[in-house]
Amino acid sequence: MIKQLVMATNNANKLREAREILAPLGIEVLSQREAGADCDPEENGTTFAENALIKARAVYEAVKLPTIADDSGLCVDAMDGRPGVYSARYAPEGQHCAKLLEEMKDVPDDRRGAAFECTIAYIDEKGSHTMTGECRGAIGHEQRGTNGFGYDPVFMAGERTMAELSAEEKNVISHRGAALRELYKYLKERFGE
C-alpha cells in the first residue's frame, strides 16, 4: 500500500472527508500545501473529469507523489444540469444559494430534482484513473442548517438539507464520499493490504 497521497486542494472540508474515508488503508493524506505544491492550474475543462485531471496532473508534476484531485458541482434538473461544472463560478462568494433560490422560485416541487456530482482523478507514475460519485436530492425553498458549505443549505437529502446533517451522516450519502469510497476500493484492489 502507498504511504502518502497528496490531495490537490487546501480545502479543510475536502481534506477531512478524504482523511476519514481513507484512514482504514493507513494512507496519510496531505494537502497540496503540506506536500509543497504551490500551483493553481486553470480549470478550463468542460467536464468534472477533465477539471479533476487538470488539477491532479499539475500537483503530481510538482511533487511526484501519488495525487488525487476532485471536481464537483450541483446539477439541477430544471436548469438543464446547470450550474454543473461552473458551480463555483455561478455566483459571487457566499451568494450561490441565494441566486439559485431566486432562479428556482417559480419551479414546482416535482421539478426541483438535483444531484451533487463528483469526479476524483488519481494519478501516479503509472498513469491516471477516475471515479465518480453522485448524491440525488432536490432543491429546497429556503436555506437551512449550519453544517456543510457551498450549496448544502438548499440541497434537500430527504427531509433535511445537507447542511442539517452531521459530518458522519453526510459522508455516508455525499457525492464526494461516494467517489472517495470508489477510490478506496481502487487503491485496495491495486495495492493490496
Given the residues 40, 70, 71, 124, select the one marked as catalytic. Answer: 71
Domains and CATH numbers, the chain: 4-191 (3.90.950.10)
Question: How would you label 8-46 residue by residue, b for 16+ Cβ within 10 Å and e otherwise?
Answer: bbeeebbbebbbebbeebebebbbbeebebeeebebebe
Kindly report the average pLDDT of the chain as a whole number.
94
* Cβ atoms of 63 and 56 closer than 8 Å: no
| Each residue's pLDDT tens digit, 158-192 | 999 999 999 889 878 999 999 999 999 999 999 87
Residue 108: asked if its preceding bond is cis (omega within 30°), the reply is no
pLDDT higher than threshold 90 for residue 65: yes
> What pLDDT score does 121 carry?
98
Q: Mark whether 71 is an active-site residue.
A: yes
| Each residue's pLDDT tens digit, 127-158 | 999 999 999 999 999 999 998 789 999 999 99
d(CA 122, CA 187): 10
Q: What pTM was estimated for this model as a whole?
A: 0.90
Top-confidence residue, 14 or 132: 132
